[in-house]
Structure 1
């Protein structure tokens, strides 16, 4: 897998909507949670998914993400990760004020195509994101839902729960005592 920086994220919107729909199908509609939607589309309704998800993705690509990376095999996007580290300037209501600061870097939009799960691609993307945030002088945080598989995954990868916030769990990357977490 090659990890590539996306220089103009809005231009990749169509490909990313299709990629996220594969995630939606692979998680049986659990992720993305689409928590703002009253009636979620079925997992075989791409057009319904696109209608509700595309405007949200457009916001994230244009106004939220500071950096976006894709993991590719050939031309196929098999994973994504975004970094958000200028939190003071953004309308990110799901980030608690207590962690909004110059040292905070969020790992967002972290997903791997279900067909590639269990092959180490997620670990590579996550390690890349943590390293990149460290280069920028930021502490790595993630915000997830406690009922998602991602929560236990992050715990295994060296994150610790910092707080509950609304329906989310806020987690921070901690170094392992042996330094293996770096």
Structure 2
């Protein structure tokens, strides 16, 4: 199972929307956090989720992500990761000014389908993303929520907390 770069991310919008909803449903609505939404849709309400998330997904696919990668098994999408760099040129309000510089690279949109968690797929995607950013001369960062399981996952995989930023926590990869 390989990791493939998506040359035209918008072409996968519908598939990605369903994939992200599956993650949202499997995490009982905790991820993605939809922190900008006053009344979050139920984890069973795809149409409600789509109304809220689709415009944000379009923004991410067309104006935020520099690179998007997918992992498939038998043609089925099982994981995603995106890289965001050139941060000074992006309208990313959730990124603190302290890391909006030419050396920073964000690991974003990192998700694994519920049926594939705990089997090494996430580790493979994360390791790939870290190596790709390092090869570009970027320092890998993750912006997450301290309440998510992912927070501890990142800490166990070489990231350390560098700051709180509103409701987010900023983690930086420490090169061993």
Q: Report the TM-score when normalising by structure 2.
A: 0.99
Secondary structure at 2:52's aligned position in 1? helix
* Aligned match of 1:103: 103
Structure 1 residue 150 and structure 2 residue 150: aligned?
yes
Q: Distance in 1 between matches of 2:41 and 2:107?
A: 26
* Aligned match of 2:71: 71
Using the TM superposition, give the Cα deviation of residue 41 of structure 1 relative to its aligned residue in structure 2, in angstroms: 0.9
Q: Distance in 2 between matches of 1:161 and 1:27?
A: 23
Secondary structure at 1:25's aligned position in 2? helix
Secondary structure at 1:133's aligned position in 2? helix
Using the TM superposition, give the Cα deviation of residue 27 of structure 1 relative to its aligned residue in structure 2, in angstroms: 0.3
Flag structure 2 segments of 5+ consecutive residues without an equivalent.
Answer: none
Q: Distance in 1 between matches of 2:65 and 2:157?
A: 23
Is the deviation greater in 36-45 or in 86-95?
A: 36-45
Flag structure 1 segments of 5+ consecutive residues without an equivalent.
Answer: 177-182
Q: Deviations over 1:56-82 (max 9, x none)?
A: 000000000000000110211100000
Secondary structure at 1:82's aligned position in 2? strand
* Aligned match of 1:44: 44
Say how many residue pairs are matched. Answer: 176
Using the TM superposition, give the Cα deviation of residue 37 of structure 1 relative to its aligned residue in structure 2, in angstroms: 1.1
* Aligned match of 1:165: 165
Q: Distance in 1 between matches of 2:75 and 2:50?
A: 21
Q: Distance in 1 between matches of 2:95 and 2:39?
A: 25
Q: Distance in 2 between matches of 1:29 and 1:99?
A: 29
RMSD: 0.6
Matches within 5 A, 1:12-91: 12-91=12-91
User: Which 4+ stretches in 1 moved above 4 angstroms?
Assistant: none
